Amino acid sequence: MIVGLYLEDFSLLNKVTNRLKSKEFSLRHVKKVPENSDEISVIISKETLKNCKIAQIQPSNLDILELRLRCIFYNCEKVVAGIDPGGTSGLAIIGNNNLLYQNEFDNIEDLTCIIKSINEEIGLKTIKIGSGSPPERNQIVNSLHEYADLIKLVSEKSSGSGSHTAAATRIALRKELSESFEVYKPKDGEIAWVQQESRRLSKGLVTIDKQLAHQILVGKMTMKEAINTYTKRIKVH
């Protein structure tokens, strides 16, 4: 795939070229923009180019630039996201039965940010989330509440083993959907572990109570929010 680069902004040009390391992309610097081309599949530019019939990308989130290029190559208007929830969550994007993107995230906020960028810049058809790891699953669902109509829960039974991204890919490709979320009731040991984690992450300053730990486990609150809430509460008293 030949990608034309019409970028006079050297800083942006450098960032773009550093992102496009895959051998599937052949980069070509363009000084004069042609109206059409039999060779160049897409042009990356800072501003929208007038009188140019070649597909264009004005990059916003560079983390999904390669994904946007693949969407143009495979003619994908909307894509399907598969998420494997867990301490490390996997993400896979499928479009027209092609695997377009895979990544792992240790932070749910970063995962949410990527999902939002994909929807804004490309468009999401469905967000399929694995039914496992209820605490992380619920946090992901809650963080994507504005896309509630797109979210589908997918059973992870008999999904096999492998990496988080491989699991996310299987989730994205699965057609069977779970009817509803299983009611998750945190165990005493899980609550105690979350309380210990709050003390570790706050560097020994606070240990959140059981109610806040429960809120974290059911996905209604992040650890950061719980620590801040508890800190404010004890300051008042």
3-state SS, residue 218:
coil
83-116: pLDDT as tens digits: 999 889 999 999 999 999 999 999 889 999 999 9
Whether residues 160 and 194 share a domain: the answer is: no
Q: Does a structural domain hold residue 232?
A: yes
Which ranges constitute the DSSP H helices of 44-123? 65-73, 108-121
Q: Does a structural domain hold residue 72?
A: no
Which of 125, 148, 173 is the last residue in one of the domains? 173
In 58-189, beta strands by DSSP E: 79-84, 89-95, 98-105, 124-130, 151-154
33-51: pLDDT as tens digits: 888 888 999 999 999 998 8
Whether residues 112 and 36 share a domain: the answer is: no
Q: Does a structural domain hold residue 144?
A: yes
For residues 123 and 100, give the distance between their C-alpha atoms in angstroms, rounded to a whole number: 14
Give phi and psi for 158, each to the nearest 5.
Answer: 60, 30
Whether residues 168 and 220 share a domain: the answer is: no
Q: Does a structural domain hold residue 182?
A: no
Residue 159 sits in a domain of what CATH number? 3.30.420.140
Domain count, the chain: 3
* Sheet of 55-57, strands arranged across: 26-29, 2-6, 40-45, 55-57
Is the pTM for the entire model greater than 0.75? yes
- Which residue do the tokens 């669902």 mark? 141
Q: Does a structural domain hold residue 74?
A: no
Enclosing H/E stretch for 12: helix 10-19
Q: What is the domain extent for residue 12?
A: 2-59
Q: Which two tokens stand for residue 90?
A: 């996997």
CA-based max dimension of the chain: 71
Which of 173, 199, 227 is the last residue in one of the domains? 173
- For the chain, the C-alpha Rg in angstroms (whole number) is 22
> Which residues make Cβ contacts (< 8 Å) with residue 51, sequence separation at least 6?
35
Whether residues 92 and 161 share a domain: the answer is: yes
127-182: pLDDT as tens digits: 999 988 888 888 898 889 899 899 998 887 755 568 999 999 999 998 866 655 55
Whether residues 84 and 43 share a domain: the answer is: no
Q: Does a structural domain hold residue 215?
A: yes
Whether residues 51 and 125 share a domain: the answer is: no
Q: Does a structural domain hold residue 68?
A: no
For residues 128 and 120, give the distance between their C-alpha atoms in angstroms, rounded to a whole number: 18
Whether residues 85 and 117 share a domain: the answer is: yes
Contact 187, 135 (CB under 8 A): no
Whether residues 93 and 136 share a domain: the answer is: yes
Q: Does a structural domain hold residue 51?
A: yes
